[in-house]
Amino acid sequence: MIAEVIVDIATSETDRIFDYLCDGDTVVGSRVRAPFGGKTVPGFVMKIKEKSEVPFEKLKKVIPCPDELPAINGECLALAEKITARYRVPKALTLRLFLPSEMRTGKVRELTRNYAELLVPILEMKLSKTAKNQAGAAEYLAKNGKSDCALVNNLFPGGIAGLEKKGYVKITQEQILRDPYKSVEGENAVRTLTDDQNRAVQTIQTDARTVQLLHGVTGSGKTEIYLTLIAKCLKEGKSSIFLVPEISLTPQMLAQLRARFGKNAAILHSGLSAGERFDEWWRLRTGEAKIAIGARSAIFAPLENIGVIIVDEEHDSSYASETAPRYNTFDVAYLRAKRNGCKLVLGSATPSVETYKRAKEGEFSLIRLEKRVNERPLPEIIISDMRREVRRGNNSAFSFALKEELEKCLSAGKQAILFLNRRGYSQTVICKECGYVAKCEACDVSLTYHRDEDCLKCHYCGAKYSMLSACPECGGIKLSYAGTGTQRIVAELQKLYPTARILRMDNDTTSGKEGHYKILKTFADKKADILVGTQMIAKGHDFPSVTLVGILDADMSLHFSDYRSRERTFQLITQVAGRSGRAEEKGKVVLQTFDPENEVLRFATRYDYLGFYENEISLRAAMLFPPFTKIVRILVTGEDEKKTLEGLKEVYFAMKELYERNAEKFLFFDKMHAPIKRIQNKYRYQVLSRISDTSILPEIYALCAEARTREVLVSVEENPSNLS
Ligand code: ADP
Ligand code: ZN
């Protein structure tokens, strides 16, 4: 038989598919090792066929890998085909989504452990008097039976090796699966569902539509509904996929999932090592685990017979991939749901305008949960007019109202969350004499001062520069720190409340294996009083002791020149406010703004999603913005400025040609610099268009695939959530 094998998928940007000879029992989707240019490289069987165009004597034979199962199941292969065709990317790129990195590179580490057991009773051993460790090890094994060599070696170094030489012990190797959640504990608190929750579960199970939108205010018990749906599937022997924004995999959430589903759940999150991820993935592939839980990439989980797919916080921007293939998680989830004949449940307190429109028009089912569990009230939102604060001589980052509430909260022994969507100490460093602004050498952006490291950092490439003592342009020494970041907030808070225990959570404090997990755990264990953070603290967390939330700069996201900035502001405020008062105690929120009359803020403080939606959708309709049209950005990037410009020209002329043939389908179309002209030494240009008819999308993808070269990357983004 002949196998079409895709090789080198770990690094290749192109498809390298070759014919090989294979055994008759080789299956599609399985892993092989293929002779290639004098080496053997890992590959995957994409297709089995009878004949090859290549002359027989030139065909080489692949070596099968002894896996119990092909790495990629039939459904995933079919899905990969669809994604490849939809986004016009090489198969190799798509396949990467379906395989853990260790498997792609062929470096699967099977974790094994050595065990020793005695072959000879101690009394029959001939040990020299000085070999104390051998005697110790022998006694240990006699007493405890077969034991982990590493453990015994710790107690009696070299003991086992000595015994083995004499033939007194046998050493065996056994495979162990890493258990990343050994230390995660939680109670399995299965709750009786409220009437609202029961009704939601009923509807989701019986409504005929594939997509079910669960629109429930924060704290309305959506999580409990998801868990019930998953448990029902498990009972029927079906598998489930549960997607959350990465950051929602909080300590409590992990504990809850572990307690509820034990080893039936494979929880994939960024805190896991590559080996641990691989093991979790493999447990899903073999069917040992039936529930895949994780961020957007978990939509590619190697499951069969899926009973439900859940996307929590469906409006979250993390569901759009920003690397090729730039897939949309919803589209992939929909394909899988259709194929498995199961429901796709989208949950949010603030659904995206696009999703809500489709639900309102009846394409999706719409389920509302209007109250918090046990009728707990939503927190009261107090607006602080910062213009007035300035007039009253308050130039600090905190309004009088916020300070007052903070004091009350702290003295009552409760916890507070302060939200500011800007990390670092100050946003920019400006020379007061000449106006010079410190900028990154590799990117076209200003640098942020970080006080803890006393350096300037680029938030786009991570580069660090030493802090300036004088202006490099004019030599002036009057440098001003403009714009407040989270570090500065913490410093000022600590001055105001010297005894308060303050935690900071942003991109700078959450790197490393445990990342945000540790910070959230500390806060959940009430080892801190105030949590200061960027938008990563807004999502999904359930801290019962939090009774105060401060939103320090509610206007910040309003002023982006992006059609979604109002929507994002509304979502952010609702989400952050939703962290307050989730248990018995009533919560409060202080919202600081320079624009208290702003209608988006007004809707948000009244928790009026419907009002906001109606207002927003009519604006979008009037301005012909999505969801009434589609914004398509073609991003052309490369290190060589000339070649990148040539790439841009090629794309532009191809688009122009398409435009001239289909002018009625375009509302707008132009080429320009991307808002940030350079990131990590790569020049960035874009062709921006707004289209009213998506039937030309395949042609746009095709012309971009055509223009892509080794040096110039051309990518297509539909309604991009990040327009930098
Ligand atoms: P959401 O995901 O909608 O924001 P959660 O699922 O986090 O809401 O629920 C909010 C709080 O209510 C949580 O503390 C949760 O433990 C609790 N809760 C949810 N459902 C029930 C129930 N049926 N009975 C008692 N408490 C519940
Ligand atoms: Zn940079």
pLDDT tens digits, 543-568 = 889 999 999 988 876 666 678 889 99
657 pLDDT higher than 90 = yes
Ligand closest to CA 373? 1
Separation of 274 CA from ligand 2 center, angstroms?
Answer: 28
pLDDT at position 178, please?
A: 66
Atom of ligand 1 nearest to the CA of 192: 23
Ligand closest to CA 584? 1
175 pLDDT higher than 90 = no
Q: Is the CB of 250 under 6 A from ligand 1?
A: no
Residue 96 makes CB contacts below 8 A (sequence gap 6+) with 9, 10, 104
Q: Which pLDDT band, with edges at 50, 70 and 90, does 712 fall under?
A: very high
Ligand closest to CA 441? 2
Paired sense of beta strands 112-118 and 502-505, if any: unpaired
pLDDT digits (tens, 9 = 90+) for 325-358: 889 999 999 999 999 999 999 999 999 999 999 9
Separation of 542 CA from ligand 1 center, angstroms?
Answer: 9
Q: Is the CB of 575 under 6 A from ligand 1?
A: no
Tokens 């101690």 identify what position? 122
Q: How would you class 433 by CB atoms within 10 Å of its CB: exposed for 0-12, middle for 13-18, buried for 19 or more?
A: middle
Q: Is the CB of 196 under 6 A from ligand 1?
A: no
Paired sense of beta strands 464-466 and 455-457, if any: antiparallel
Q: How would you class 594 by CB atoms within 10 Å of its CB: exposed for 0-12, middle for 13-18, buried for 19 or more?
A: middle
DSSP 417: E
pLDDT at position 540, please?
A: 66
3-class SS of residue 270: coil
Q: Which pLDDT band, with edges at 50, 70 and 90, does 83 fall under?
A: very high
CA 281/CA 352 separation, integer angstroms? 31
Which tokens belong to 455? 């350096």
Q: Is the CB of 580 under 6 A from ligand 1?
A: no
Tokens 């700078």 identify what position? 508
pLDDT at position 203, please?
A: 97
Across the range 105-111, mean pLDDT stands at 61
Give the residue, by CA position, lying nearest to ligand 1 atom 20.
221
Question: How far is Cα of residue 484 from the mean position of the Cα atoms in its chain?
Answer: 27
Question: How many residues are there in the chain?
Answer: 724
Atom of ligand 1 nearest to the CA of 220: 3
More confident residue, 341 or 120: 341
Give the residue, by CA position, lying nearest to ligand 1 atom 24.
191
As beta bridge partners, residue 291 has 240, 265
pLDDT at position 265, please?
A: 93
CA 51/CA 53 separation, integer angstroms? 7
Q: Is the CB of 373 under 6 A from ligand 1?
A: yes
Q: Is the CB of 378 under 6 A from ligand 1?
A: no
113 pLDDT higher than 80 = no
Give the residue, by CA position, lying nearest to ligand 1 atom 19.
221
As beta bridge partners, residue 588 has 380, 548
Ligand closest to CA 350? 1
Separation of 232 CA from ligand 1 center, angstroms?
Answer: 18
3-class SS of residue 484: strand
Ligand closest to CA 447? 2
10 pLDDT higher than 80 = no
DSSP 191: P
pLDDT at position 535, please?
A: 83
Q: Is the CB of 221 under 6 A from ligand 1?
A: yes
Give the residue, by CA position, lying nearest to ligand 1 atom 1.
219
183 pLDDT higher than 80 = no
226 pLDDT higher than 90 = yes
Paired sense of beta strands 2-7 and 17-21, if any: antiparallel
Ligand closest to CA 372? 1
For residue 3, give the nearest of 22, 17, 31 by alpha carbon. 22
Q: Which pLDDT band, with edges at 50, 70 and 90, does 109 fall under?
A: low
Q: Which pLDDT band, with edges at 50, 70 and 90, does 463 fall under?
A: confident
Ligand closest to CA 578? 1
Judge whether 114 and 149 are in contact, CB under 8 Å.
Answer: yes
pLDDT at position 431, please?
A: 87
Judge whether 473 and 466 are in contact, CB under 8 Å.
Answer: no
Separation of 660 CA from ligand 2 center, angstroms?
Answer: 38
% pLDDT > 70, the chain: 94
For residue 634, give the nearest of 266, 326, 237 by alpha carbon. 326
pLDDT digits (tens, 9 = 90+) for 45-75: 999 999 999 898 889 999 887 777 888 999 9
Separation of 626 CA from ligand 2 center, angstroms?
Answer: 31
For residue 115, give the nearest of 138, 162, 148 by alpha carbon. 148
% pLDDT > 90, the chain: 50
For residue 4, give the nearest of 49, 40, 59 by alpha carbon. 49
Separation of 458 CA from ligand 2 center, angstroms?
Answer: 5
Give the residue, by CA position, lying nearest to ligand 1 atom 9.
221
Q: Is the CB of 197 under 6 A from ligand 1?
A: yes
CA dihedral 317, 553, 616, 663 (to 10 degrees): -60
Atom of ligand 1 nearest to the CA of 583: 14
Atom of ligand 1 nearest to the CA of 542: 7
Question: How far is Cα of residue 321 from the mean position of the Cα atoms in its chain?
Answer: 9
pLDDT at position 312, please?
A: 95
pLDDT at position 11, please?
A: 67
CA 585/CA 556 separation, integer angstroms? 30
Atom of ligand 1 nearest to the CA of 194: 23
pLDDT digits (tens, 9 = 90+) for 186-225: 666 678 999 999 999 999 999 999 999 999 998 899 999 9
Say how many C-beta atoms besides its own lie within 10 A of residue 314's C-beta. 26
Atom of ligand 1 nearest to the CA of 217: 3
Separation of 556 CA from ligand 2 center, angstroms?
Answer: 22
Greatest pairwise CA separation for the chain in angstroms? 96
Give the residue, by CA position, lying nearest to ligand 1 atom 4.
219
Which tokens belong to 436? 């010079």
Write b or e for each residue in 499-520: b if 16 or more Cβ atoms lie within 10 A of its Cβ, otherwise e. Answer: eebbbbbbbbbbeeeebbbbbb
Residue 653 makes CB contacts below 8 A (sequence gap 6+) with none
Separation of 715 CA from ligand 2 center, angstroms?
Answer: 21
As beta bridge partners, residue 21 has 2, 61
Q: Is the CB of 224 under 6 A from ligand 1?
A: yes
Mean residue pLDDT across the chain: 88
Q: Is the CB of 222 under 6 A from ligand 1?
A: yes
Separation of 554 CA from ligand 2 center, angstroms?
Answer: 27
Site to probe by mutation for ligand 1, drawn from 217, 542, 585 as the one with most ligand atoms within 8 Å of Cβ, is 542
pLDDT at position 600, please?
A: 93
3-class SS of residue 421: coil
Separation of 447 CA from ligand 2 center, angstroms?
Answer: 8
Q: Is the CB of 216 under 6 A from ligand 1?
A: yes
Judge whether 497 and 466 are in contact, CB under 8 Å.
Answer: no
Q: Which of 170-179, 231-240, 427-436 has the highest average model confidence (pLDDT)?
A: 231-240
Separation of 215 CA from ligand 1 center, angstroms?
Answer: 14
DSSP annotation string for 156-168: STTHHHHHHHTT-
pLDDT digits (tens, 9 = 90+) for 475-505: 888 888 877 889 999 999 999 999 999 999 9
CA 100/CA 109 separation, integer angstroms? 12
Separation of 516 CA from ligand 1 center, angstroms?
Answer: 22
Amino acid code (one letter) for 477: I
Separation of 218 CA from ligand 1 center, angstroms?
Answer: 9
Distance between terminal CA atoms of the chain? 50
Atom of ligand 1 nearest to the CA of 578: 4
pLDDT at position 653, please?
A: 94
DSSP annotation string for 345-411: EEEESS--HHHHHHHHTTSSEEEEE-S-GGGPPPPEEEEEEHHHHHHTT--SSS-HHHHHHHHHHHH
Q: Is the CB of 219 under 6 A from ligand 1?
A: yes
Which tokens belong to 389? 């604060």
CA 349/CA 248 separation, integer angstroms? 15
pLDDT at position 177, please?
A: 63
Site to probe by mutation for ligand 1, drawn from 191, 214, 225, 373 as the one with most ligand atoms within 8 Å of Cβ, is 373
Separation of 444 CA from ligand 2 center, angstroms?
Answer: 7
CA 556/CA 84 separation, integer angstroms? 38
Tokens 């307690």 identify what position? 259
| H-type alpha helices, 578-694 | 599-605, 609-623, 641-661
Which of 51-55, 114-118, 440-444, 563-567 is predicted with the least confidence, judged by mean pLDDT?
Answer: 440-444
Separation of 327 CA from ligand 2 center, angstroms?
Answer: 26
Separation of 617 CA from ligand 1 center, angstroms?
Answer: 31
636 pLDDT higher than 80 = yes
Separation of 197 CA from ligand 1 center, angstroms?
Answer: 10
